[in-house]
Structure 1
Amino acid sequence: MRRLGSVQQKIPCIFLTEVKEEQSRKRECQQFQVVATENVNPVALESNIDCALATEKLDGTCCYVTVYKGQPYLWARLDRKPSKQADKRFKKYQHSHKSCKGFTWNVEEDFKTVPEAWIPAHRVKHHNGNPVPDEHGHIPGWVPVERENKQYCWHSSVVEYDAGLALVLRPSAEEEDTLEITAVPLAELLEQTLELIGTNVNGNPYGLGSKKQPVHALVSHGSVRIRNPPPADFQQLCSWLQDSPEGRVEGIVWHCNNGTLVKVHRHHLGLRWPDGETLLGSRPVVVHVDGTVDEYDIDSRDLFTSFSRLNGRRFSRLRDVLFDP
């Protein structure tokens, strides 16, 4: 499996796409939709998509682990966005040209300020020393997650910097089809991107926790494999996503042998998400967060402590994970 590491790249769709003049289902204020055609993208064909590793596309918020203040730290996704005036000018250009190609930014003046520790994502292009915005007018980047910043409280809940640990959801090495929730050293996650999922992230499509007892976890990108994925055929892929129990996912990311990533999202195919119970939320899970967390001064209400009290417990569905009163 190829790890994404610190790469924050735009992943092409497995099918060629076209633009329709309809309100985007994915992005507010975008007056057009990008939809898939039935033609397979040459990038996928050239990368031998039929031999690629298919993994589940996860619906959360993207994170990154790298060094900050001399130790491994979790970083949250934070795009640098244009000012209101610059964004208005960009949207007007988009609407009149049906595209953003040819639009000129003044990065020094058109964009809002970001925290001093902010860094642009890898593979963001630069011109004259300034990062170049993507086709949505954003500059993808990262900001370190610090506990005192309440804006990232759910990110903070899955890391313990004194212990150097992160709460991770991943496939069990011992049991096929079973997931595990475990505490992993942050050092083992260095230069990886992960998805934060849970109660208070993106509408919680996986049904984790509750308002009273929030549950969150990190999932390494590319770690949740899809067994027996459909071939790279538009109709067969649509049927699989609609009719197969294994198709109750937001989408697929293919990891090709040459390092290329290719994806498909349900919205590319005009399909709803979520649509009933999700595959991830219905998978069995076992908790492996042992007593080593007791060695550290961790708040008794901390998520790590709550999971350590469930150590060894098995749940028939991920969405059924509940903490004892």
Structure 2
Amino acid sequence: MHEMRRLGSVQQKIPCVFLTAVKEEQSRKRDCQQFQVVATENVNPVALEANIDGAFATEKLDGTCCYVTVYNGQPYLWARLDRRPNKQAEKRFKKYQHLHKSCKGFMWNIEEDFKTVPETWIPAHRVKHHNGHPVPDEHGHIPGWVPVEKDNRQYCWHSSVVDYKAGTALVLRPCCDNEDMLEITAVPLAELQEQTLELIGTNVNGNPYGLGSKKQPVHCLVTHGSIPIRNPPPVDFQQLRSWFRENPDGRVEGIVWHCSDGTLIKVHRHHLGLRWPEEDTCLGNRPVVIRVDAFDSTDLFTSFLTLNGHCFSRLQDIHFEL
């Protein structure tokens, strides 16, 4: 069995390793946001309390967040779906945010201000509740999940990486016998129970890792915390910035530190005023072996089956014979 360090799951927004400040300029991350959140050089006390220097540094992946938990009596893949405010409430919230340069103190009407979500929707872990209703975070969202059902076209790329009949998912992870190499393999969903993962690939977030093509889309799941950062830099603003800009291992979206007390801390290139995506990502350039055994399964699984045992010198070179 593949040995894997069990790390904290991503159910909430993760705090930045540095204290942040608000800058009067267009956000690089959110089109509708007229201010930019940037890191100062001061380390966040939350990170210091959690002993960040002794934490395990992992690659922050650029995809969409997923979760594995039980639905209809079996382990299921769930897609991230934040419950968002309706137009009127969003307008009120933005106006308040613009005036105060903060959202602290804004009052929501939980019953009336939010869009409806599917009946199967569940709030993420540790979402606060008030009078039995989940309460929004500082962005005005209520993080949550919906099960990925095969007939839902909205989640067709999520669907392509799971086979509920066989109870498996296509997962990208480091090889157990060679840490420099990655493998794509079918993992039982039961083994991924209560973990969060990132769906990456051709049709997710602009495909920063260069996976597949429109003709031959490639998608897979990566368990959060499963891709270690090799020789991570110290938690120091200038050293981190230099590492992201100059080190080949720094061609990543960010770092997530897994602290021994379960606290998760992150830094994103945007926090340091650096662009993303890079043309040549660290992950996209890693060698990969395909280990998908025979089954009667979905199209993507079947495609990977034709490549079983095949090695590619770079993840972005994966292609199927037509």
TM-score of the pair, normalised by structure 2? 0.97
Choose which of 296, 299, 310 in structure 2 pairs with 1:313. Answer: 310
Correspondence for 1:183: 186
Q: CA deviation at 1:2?
A: 4.2
Q: CA deviation at 1:110?
A: 0.5
1:323 paired with 2:317, answer no
Flag structure 2 segments of 5+ consecutive residues without an equivalent: none
Q: CA deviation at 1:33?
A: 1.1
Deviations along 1:150-171, one digit per CA (max 9) or x if unpaired, are 0000000000001101000000
Q: Distance in 2 between matches of 1:237 and 1:76?
A: 32
Correspondence for 1:73: 76
Flag structure 1 segments of 5+ consecutive residues without an equivalent: none
Choose which of 225, 230, 248 in structure 1 pairs with 2:228. Answer: 225
**Pairing 1:1-325 to 2, within 5 Å after superposition:** 1-5=5-9, 7-291=10-294, 293=295, 296=296, 298-299=297-298, 302-325=299-322
Q: CA deviation at 1:186?
A: 0.5
Percent identical across equivalent pairs?
79
- Asked if the contact 1:131–1:139 (Cα under 8 Å) also holds between the matched residues in 2, the reply is yes
Deviations along 1:185-210, one digit per CA (max 9) or x if unpaired, are 00100000000000000000000000
Q: Distance in 2 between matches of 1:268 and 1:137?
A: 21
Q: CA deviation at 1:311?
A: 0.3
Runs of 4+ in 1 over 6 A off after TM superposition: none
AA aligned opposite 1:164 = G
AA aligned opposite 2:40 = T
Secondary structure at 2:111's aligned position in 1? helix
AA aligned opposite 1:119 = I
- Asked if the contact 1:64–1:76 (Cα under 8 Å) also holds between the matched residues in 2, the reply is yes
Q: CA deviation at 1:10?
A: 2.1
Q: Distance in 1 between matches of 2:139 and 2:51?
A: 29
Corresponding residue pairs, total: 318
AA aligned opposite 1:62 = C
Q: Distance in 1 between matches of 2:104 and 2:46?
A: 21
Q: CA deviation at 1:50?
A: 1.3
